[in-house]
């Protein structure tokens, strides 16, 4: 009997031990569960069409502008739009005609980048023979054409300093101009009225972006970009964080409330100097003044190595996380590697691996990204026969990459929602 009892006890011990080992193998520790929580779909906020204006800068935005915000936000969960600066006007080797991206891929970019620089230049006298006015007409025409095709318009602003109106680069300014230009456009500053005149010109042009369907083309307006560096006069060493926020808030309120511009989304885009959410937000003017959170980044991309690409992705992850937290649109607002075939070269699979990794690793959700423009002697988007051509084509064919040819309608809501917005 004793022997039978001992045998039973021994077998029970073996079974219990085996069960415990199996449990250890299958069940993670409490610490592991805390570090890697299971995704909870109920916790994720899903933007509804009727709620969209609650998260926008302008509650009175046009229906098309509201729809653009909504569609950018929703589509960013699964895809991102690819665009290029001056895609309809700047060409590698001056080979005009189709956009360089279309020459290579068969499709226009999904987004057109433009600039208010020439439009607001002091020398633009709106005379038909004036070169700056001719540029205004060309830029305006391209923006309207882009809208008519279904593309998205975004405008930056290389705003010339207000004292002499000659440059936006601090390397070309006097010490006095560098350290006083931004402060001078603050409310009460010596150049504040000058600044208001420039905003009036911006508003005049924006309110004439009338498409073939009679509606105003929405614009993603991106003022004071790369403000965390010192090469522009709006750079961070030339103003305090509070002064920067004050100018930003004035800009939004003057355009929206005084000048009645209701086809703008406002984009906030530092360069790549930040490493944390806190650093990114150091000059952030507030959720009620920003629609798009973005990042410009050339410095980390230029290395074309794994370290730089990983760092760029981590910084873009900060933007993506903030957009999820604040219900904003996230974007990679400027990037590119400038290829001059006689001076430098692309690494193999630069677009399909390097750029794609920046945009997609770590579950990033980005609504759009934009390559800077092609120049006569260099390009960020390869043209037929140039190094990187096939790699860019392969990049454009990825399932989550949207060019114009496979882009959904960005300006429409369900009809009942559009009617409700019009009533408001």
Structure tokens belonging to residue 298: 């050339």
Q: Which residue has the tokens 């309110």?
A: 207
Which of the residues 64, 136, 161, 334 is marked catalytic?
334
Give tens-digit pLDDT for 303-336: 889 999 999 999 999 999 999 999 999 999 999 9
Q: What percent of the chain has pLDDT over 90?
A: 85
Q: Coil, strand, or helix at residue 339?
A: strand
Q: How far apart are CA 143 and CA 218, in angstroms?
A: 10
The model's pLDDT over 381-406, given as tens digits with 9 standing for 90+, comes to 999 999 999 999 999 999 999 999 99
CA 355 to chain centre: 15
| Domains present along the chain, CATH in parentheses | 56-423 (3.20.20.80)
Q: Is residue 226 among the annotated active site residues?
A: yes
Out of 3-7, 66-70, 416-420, which region has the weakest mean confidence (pLDDT)? Answer: 3-7
**Buried b / exposed e along 105-129 (16+ C-beta atoms within 10 A):** bebbbbbbbbbbbbbbbeebeeeee
Nearest alpha-carbon partner for 287 in 48, 58, 69, 55: 55
CA gap 250, 199 in Å, rounded: 11
CA 52 to chain CA centroid, Å, is 19
Helices 241-253, 175-184: axis angle to 10 degrees equals 50
Euclidean distance between CA atoms 217 and 119, whole angstroms: 17
Helix (H/G/I), strand (E/B), else coil: 190: coil
Q: Answer whether residue 100 shows pLDDT above 90.
A: yes
Distance, in Å, from the CA atom of 217 to the CA atom of 346, rounded to the nearest integer, reads 36
Q: What's the rounded Cα separation, in Å, for the pair 216 and 208?
A: 7
pLDDT at 39: 42
Local confidence band at 43 (pLDDT 50, 70, 90 cut-offs): confident
Rounded CA-CA distance 327/321 in Å is 10
Residue 216 pairs in a beta bridge with 210
Round to the nearest angstrom and report the end-to-end CA distance of the chain: 89
Structure tokens at 236: 């961070």
For the chain, give the mean pLDDT. 90
Q: What are the counts of helices (DSSP H) followed by strands (DSSP E) for the chain?
A: 13, 9
**Tens digits of residue pLDDT in 205-244:** 999 999 999 999 999 999 999 999 999 999 999 999 999 9
Task: Kindly report, residue by residue over 247-256, the tens digit of the pLDDT.
Answer: 999 999 999 9
Comparing 1-5, 150-154, 200-204, 415-419, the range with the smallest average pLDDT is 1-5
How far apart (Å, rounded) are the C-alpha atoms in residues 188 and 198? 16
Tell me how long the chain is: 424
What is the separation of C-alpha 78 from the centre of its chain, rounded to a whole number of angstroms? 16
Q: 357, exposed or middle or buried, with CB in 10 Å at 0-12, 13-18, 19+?
A: middle
Q: Which of 136, 161, 226, 365 is the catalytic position?
A: 226
Q: How far, in Å, CA of 211 to CA of 144, rounded?
A: 6
Q: Which two tokens mark 198? A: 């420039």
User: CA 197, CA 185: separation in Å to the nearest integer?
Assistant: 11
334 is catalytic: yes
Of 28, 71, 34, 23, give the one whose Cα is nearest residue 49.
71
d(CA 388, CA 422): 47
pLDDT for residue 41: 47
Structure tokens at 418: 């559009």
What is the signed CA dihedral for 395, 396, 400, 406, rounded to 10 degrees?
-170
Q: pLDDT value at position 44?
A: 79
Q: Which residue has the higher pLDDT, 171 or 21?
A: 171
At residue 314, φ and ψ (nearest 5 deg) are: -65, -40
């Amino acid at each position: 009997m004793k022997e039978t009892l001992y045998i039973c006890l021994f077998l029970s011990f073996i079974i219990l031990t085996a069960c415990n080992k199996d449990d250890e193998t299958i069940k993670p520790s409490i610490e592991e569960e805390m570090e890697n929580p299971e995704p909870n779909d109920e916790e994720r906020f899903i933007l509804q069409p009727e709620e969209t204006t609650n998260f926008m800068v302008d509650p009175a935005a046009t229906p098309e502008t509201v729809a653009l915000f909504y569609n950018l936000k929703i589509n960013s969960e699964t895809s991102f739009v690819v665009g290029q600066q001056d895609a309809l006007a700047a060409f590698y080797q001056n080979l005009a005609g189709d956009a360089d991206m279309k020459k290579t891929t068969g499709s226009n970019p999904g987004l057109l980048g433009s600039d208010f620089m020439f439009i607001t230049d002091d020398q633009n006298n709106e005379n038909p023979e004036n070169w700056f006015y001719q540029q205004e007409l060309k830029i305006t025409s391209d923006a309207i054409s882009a809208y008519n095709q279904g593309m998205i318009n975004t405008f930056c602003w290389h705003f010339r300093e207000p004292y002499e109106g000659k440059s936006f680069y601090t390397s070309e300014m006097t010490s006095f101009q560098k350290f006083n230009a931004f402060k001078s456009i603050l409310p009460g500053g010596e150049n504040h009225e000058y600044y208001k005149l420039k905003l009036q010109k911006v508003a005049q042009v924006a309110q004439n972006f009338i498409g073939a369907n009679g509606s105003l083309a929405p614009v993603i307006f991106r003022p004071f970009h790369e403000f965390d560096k010192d090469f522009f006069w709006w750079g961070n060493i030339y103003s305090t964080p509070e002064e920067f926020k004050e100018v930003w808030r004035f800009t939004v309120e003057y355009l929206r409330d005084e000048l009645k511009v209701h086809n703008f989304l406002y984009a906030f885009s530092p360069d790549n100097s930040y490493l944390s959410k806190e650093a990114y937000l150091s000059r952030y003017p507030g959720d009620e003044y920003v629609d798009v959170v973005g990042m410009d980044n050339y410095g980390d991309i230029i290395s074309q190595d794994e370290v730089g690409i990983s760092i760029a992705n981590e910084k873009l992850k900060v933007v993506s996380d903030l957009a999820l937290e604040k219900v904003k649109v996230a974007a990679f607002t400027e990037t590119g590697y400038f290829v001059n075939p006689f001076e430098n070269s692309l690494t193999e699979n630069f677009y399909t691996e390097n750029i794609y990794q920046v945009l997609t690793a770590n579950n990033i959700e980005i609504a759009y990204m934009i390559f800077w423009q092609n120049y006569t002697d260099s390009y960020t988007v390869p043209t037929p026969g140039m190094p990187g051509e096939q790699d860019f084509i392969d990049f454009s064919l990825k399932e989550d990459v949207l060019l114009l040819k496979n882009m959904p309608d960005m300006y429409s809501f369900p009809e009942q929602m559009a009617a409700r917005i019009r009533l408001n």
